[in-house]
Structure formats: C-alpha cells, structure tokens
Structure 1
Amino acid sequence: MYRNRALFMNFNERLRYLIDCEEIKLKDLAPKLCLSASTLSNYAQGIREPDYDTLRRIADYFGVSIDYLLGHEPPAVDDERQLLTCYRSFTPSQKRFLLDQAALIKRYKIRLDD
C-alpha cells in the first residue's frame, strides 16, 4: 500500500508526488516558489536539497508540513489531497459554506453510508 511506501520516500520523491498531484509543470511552479526552474528540477531529481526557507515555501504552497517533506509523517490520502485541491479553487463564500457543512456533520455526528 502507498502509505507504507511513503514512510521510505525521499524528499525529492515526495516533492515529485506533490507536483504530480497538483498537475503543475516545474516551469510554472518555480516562480510561485521564488525559484528558478532548474533549481526546482534539481530538487525534484534529488540532485540538490533545499534550504530551510525554501522548504517552508514548498510546504506552504502544497499545504503540507516540513516534517512531511522530510519524511517524518505519512502523506495525506488521495481523498484528502482531492479535497484540498477543490477547496483551494473555491471562492471565499464557497469555502465558508463547505466549512459550515463539515461543522454540522461533526457536531451532529451524521453518518453516511460508507
């Protein structure tokens, strides 16, 4: 299973996974992280490793922890990643609506067919 394999992933493999999940090209992502495309490519290939500030920018962009990037916690399951991707595309009012619905489900312990 992927979760077990994730415990042994290197930084560059986790970075590649996150980039693949976002379906973004390195050349488009690099400026968002204040990096050159070649530097980001070196990180993704495992040729170089980022400094702390770069790790923080990468973690913030993908919504993961630095611990995750460094292999100290398992990745979010695919459902979580899909929810995060959808959430990021919503307007502020859509985000508030979604959070309100989640609060209701949690508060009233609503169970749906699993």
Structure 2
Amino acid sequence: MSIRQARQHRGITQKEAADILGVARTTYNKYENGVHSPDSQTLVRMAQLFGCSTDYLLDMPHAPEPLLNALEREALHRLQSLSPENRNKALHYLYLLQLSEKDG
C-alpha cells in the first residue's frame, strides 16, 4: 500500500488528504485500498502532496521513499528561514547531537 505509506509518512489523515486533493474521503480510501486508481492528474497532485514520485505511489520497483515527513519539512523550513550565521550554528548543533548519539 504505497499510497497509505506515503500519506502516513507525511503525517496526515485520509480526510485531510482527500480534502486537499478535492475528492471524497471514501474515494480516497478506495485509492489506498486498491479498489480504484486515481486519474493521472490526481496521481500527480498526490505525489506533490506526499513529496514522492508517482512511481512510488504506483508501487513501481526501486521507487524512492517519500523525501521528507511533516516534521522534517517543518525543520527544513525553519532552518532555511534563519540568517546564514544562525543556520551555521544550527547545523553545528545538529552535528554535535549526532556525535553524542554515536558515543552514547
């Protein structure tokens, strides 16, 4: 169920996905359960919403995982909004956190 996995990775509900895509929640549920297939326009919008390729949603072999979940997107957005100096400080802090996890 690649569509379900992509939605869950993004951290949104079926209702939220259906509302964003402009389809009924029952229709969206049928996409996730393989009862119906989305048309090409809906498939492209789903890929944009979930941050993945259409191949991934179609369960194609070797399709990439969704790039970022909702929390990762928020962190990246916050990082990008910082001044260059503070961005470097934040990246240095992340580096130190990563080192402490390796040690501990």
| TM-score normalised by structure 2 residue count | 0.65
After superposition, residues 17-96 of structure 1 pair within 5 angstroms as 17-70=5-58, 71-72=60-61, 73-76=63-66, 81=68, 84-90=69-75, 92=77, 94-96=78-80
For structure 1, the 5+ residue unaligned runs are 1-12
Separation of aligned partners in 2, 1:45 and 1:34: 18
Greater Cα radius of gyration, structure 1 or 2: 2
State the percentage of identical aligned residues. Answer: 27
- Whether the 8 Å contact between 1:22 and 1:85 is mirrored in structure 2 is yes
Q: Which residue identity is paired with 2:17?
A: L
Separation of aligned partners in 2, 1:91 and 1:75: 18
Between 49-58 and 21-30, report the one with greater CA deviation: 21-30
- Whether the 8 Å contact between 2:53 and 2:64 is mirrored in structure 1 is no
| TM-score normalised by structure 1 residue count | 0.60
Deviation (angstroms), 1:74: 3.5
Superposed CA offset, 1:37-84 (max 9, x none): 1110110111000111000000000111112212241325xxx54xx4
